[in-house]
Structure 1
Amino acid sequence: MNTRYFFYVIIIIGLFTSCGLIHNLPDSASPNTGADPNLWYSFVDQNGNFYPDNWKKNYGIPSNKAARDPYSLMKIATDRGDREQLLAFERGNMLRLSKRIEPKKRVFILVHGFNADEESVVKQYKYIADHIVTNPKNDEIIRFYWDGLRSTSPFRSAKNWFSAASFSQMAGEFGLRRILNNMADKDVYIISHSRGASVVMSAISNPEYNTSFSAQAKDIHNIDIERAKPLLENKNRITCIMLAPAIGLSEFQYTDTTTNTKKFVDLSTQVKKIHITINGTDKMLKKFFGFLSNKLTPTDLGYKEDSFNALKKNYTIFSMTDFTGMSSHDFSRYIRDPRFKQMLREESIQVQ
């Protein structure tokens, strides 16, 4: 057997024989709220629904937080007849956020990747916030959390990758997009890591979902993906800074059903810049063997300069910073590398 495909088979076996994934759940009883002077917390479940106040008491938590079965706020609420109550909380929460942001000029949104838990992400979010020069009167920082699942086992983390892939799309289209739709005429800077890039892309464009996943979302979780609200043209100016983007060209493409061909999506005019990192030595983006980077839910955008160049031909708003030489995929390593500060400066963000 060809060595390349032997490793391929080993990976597949590992993926399907692994288990033990854990949901990323909030610790706070009020995960979606503001804190003075300029900090807002947003936490969504696997389908992009915002956790309401006292969620543990009212919704309960999965046994041992195990992710063998989906944990869906909307499913729980619908099954017991509380759907409207959950939707009312979300509307009220977005109204409070909108009023809080209204007098601000800039909004920074931080988005973590897959295989992360709230406790570890808090440290990275704080590091970024501490190194960006902000004015509480003019700036707001939103810490966005989503259910990217987590695991400590390499094989389980690999299996997690496939489970979290669709969740990232839901978190973006139904969670982050609602946040963007509740602000207008702002300079918005979205800083993401790893699969967080998919959350961002799903918020600013219309993602394509796996057919079976779409059916499950509707039949089991009572969420009709086809009825997602579009990104509103609110005259925001959006800059996306994507560290180790664990996405591929497919995130920027859709299937034209008339010609049955792939075409590049039209991005909102609000999206002024997408600044990504390229790292040919990032082991996770490489998927250890390189040839897998554009397979098994692609990660080639953050790994191969060829993928960046292909997008650059279609979108003039792209730029890149080369992080090659660093083998780690860790959020903490990327933001502590001097090149990250340089990226911020290039986008006119003052750092300290």
Structure 2
Amino acid sequence: MISNLRYLIILVFISSCGIMHNVPLSQKPNSFDKPNISNSFVDQNGNFYPDNWRKTYGSPPSNGKRDAYSLMKIAADKGITDELTGFEVKKLREFKERVKTKKRVFVFVHGFNANNEEVNESYGYIQKLIKVNAKDDEIVRFYWDGLWTSNPFAGAKIWFTATSFSQMAGEFGLRRVLNTISNKDVYIISHSRGASVVLSALAEPHFNEKFVKDIKEIHNVDVENAKELLENKNRITCIMLAPAIGLADFKSQEAGNDSFCTISPQVKKMHITINNTDKMLKKFFGFFADKFNPTDLGYKDNVYNELVKQYTCFDKTDFSGMESHAFNSYIRSPKFKTMLKANGIALAK
């Protein structure tokens, strides 16, 4: 009994080591690259990293804890919240002006437990895969704090923390990006828990009361003051690869667990993948897929079958047979190309 307890304590300690916040490599992470690339990088609460951020905000500790670090927390402690919010307003205004004359906007959203090098490789592949016109199309490379680790014992610990980070990144980060876009064809390609980022931007995510209280007291972020998604006459298509979300993510925060949330009429299509051999989505055993922050939308048909009763925008493509959950594996599948074509996205030759 004592030896088992000792083993458990050691395992918990090991799983807490080497968990990193996903922070920018660049000191100007929210920037524009010629000819048509916009980089958008938010922290765990959806705040945009300012220029030369490390000098003012330092680096987060290597433990992945929720309460240890955030831009707004540090800004509030230093009395520079106006400086941070002023930067965000400025960058969003610049982005709005940049895409004003564009016809299409492509947004890439990665999943959890992914470092910048891996994400950049995936984003770069998609950029080369699709046919874009630099004059008419803008590509947004969206980055959020899904944490990451090379420690095999820490994956589960990352998952439980990253789930709330994804919702905040969507509601306070991606939603503000989308609110600057008007009357355009918007294609959002997400992977894994990136689906939660997308859904949280398009609808109202559900947070428990303790989280709402803690995030306000510790990080100076008021969840209840989040801006709504503006009805800007966009035509939004979501392609969700290996969506690590479940039925609960579509439940209305206001109406309670028995009602489904309202999705903006701007959303014309949610095209998901189903893969009953994806080890991460099945949480290795399968019967855990609908528990512990569900991942079963991308794992099996039953959630999809429930959602199509409520929403007319859903479509699916079966990826079963592929065991990998990796972003790079999904986008390199021939079926991904088929999904792109089915949604009117031409491929580069």
Is residue 2:106 matched to residue 1:101? no
Cα deviation for residue 255 of structure 1 reads 5.0
CA RMSD of aligned residues (A): 1.8
Which residue in the other structure is 1:88 paired with?
Answer: 86
Which residue in the other structure is 1:346 paired with?
Answer: 342
Which residue identity is paired with 2:78?
R
Which residue in the other structure is 2:3 paired with?
Answer: none
Which residue in the other structure is 2:4 paired with?
Answer: none
Cα deviation for residue 256 of structure 1 reads 5.4
Cα deviation for residue 295 of structure 1 reads 0.1
Which residue in the other structure is 1:322 paired with?
Answer: 318
Deviations 1:153-203 (A, max 9, x none): 233011100000000000000000000001100100000000000000000
Alignment of 1:191-206 (within 5 A): 191-206=189-204
Alignment of 1:136-151 (within 5 A): 136-151=134-149
For the residues of structure 2 that align with 1:238 and 1:16, how far apart are their CA atoms? 44
> Taking structure 1 as reference, are residues 256 and 233 closer, same or farther at Cα in structure 2, changes over 3 Å only?
closer
Is residue 2:16 matched to residue 1:19? yes
Is residue 2:291 matched to residue 1:280? no
Q: Is the 8 A contact 1:255 1:262 kept in 2?
A: no
Cα deviation for residue 59 of structure 1 reads 1.4
Q: 1:133 aligns with which of 125, 131, 134?
A: 131
Is residue 2:167 matched to residue 1:169? yes
For the residues of structure 1 that align with 2:96 and 2:317, how far apart are their CA atoms? 33
| Unmatched segments (≥5 aa) in structure 2 | 1-6
Q: 1:67 aligns with which of 64, 69, 74?
A: 64
For the residues of structure 1 that align with 2:167 and 2:202, how far apart are their CA atoms? 11
For the residues of structure 2 that align with 1:256 and 1:165, how far apart are their CA atoms? 20
For the residues of structure 1 that align with 2:13 and 2:306, how far apart are their CA atoms? 33
For the residues of structure 2 that align with 1:292 and 1:52, how far apart are their CA atoms? 39
Q: 1:28 aligns with which of 26, 29, 38?
A: 26
Q: Is the 8 A contact 2:269 2:314 kept in 1?
A: yes
Which residue in the other structure is 2:56 paired with?
Answer: 58
Which residue in the other structure is 1:268 paired with?
Answer: 264
Q: Is the 8 A contact 2:108 2:142 kept in 1?
A: yes
Cα deviation for residue 120 of structure 1 reads 1.2
Which residue identity is paired with 1:317?
C
SS in 1 for 2:159: helix
For the residues of structure 1 that align with 2:12 and 2:309, how far apart are their CA atoms? 35
For the residues of structure 1 that align with 2:13 and 2:311, how far apart are their CA atoms? 37
Aligned length: 340
SS in 1 for 2:219: coil
SS in 1 for 2:280: helix
> Taking structure 1 as reference, are residues 14 and 348 closer, same or farther at Cα in structure 2, changes over 3 Å only?
farther
| Unmatched segments (≥5 aa) in structure 1 | 1-9
Which residue identity is paired with 2:340?
L
Q: 1:217 aligns with which of 212, 215, 221?
A: 215
Q: Is the 8 A contact 1:45 1:71 kept in 2?
A: no
- Equivalent pairs: percent with the same residue? 58
Cα deviation for residue 248 of structure 1 reads 0.1
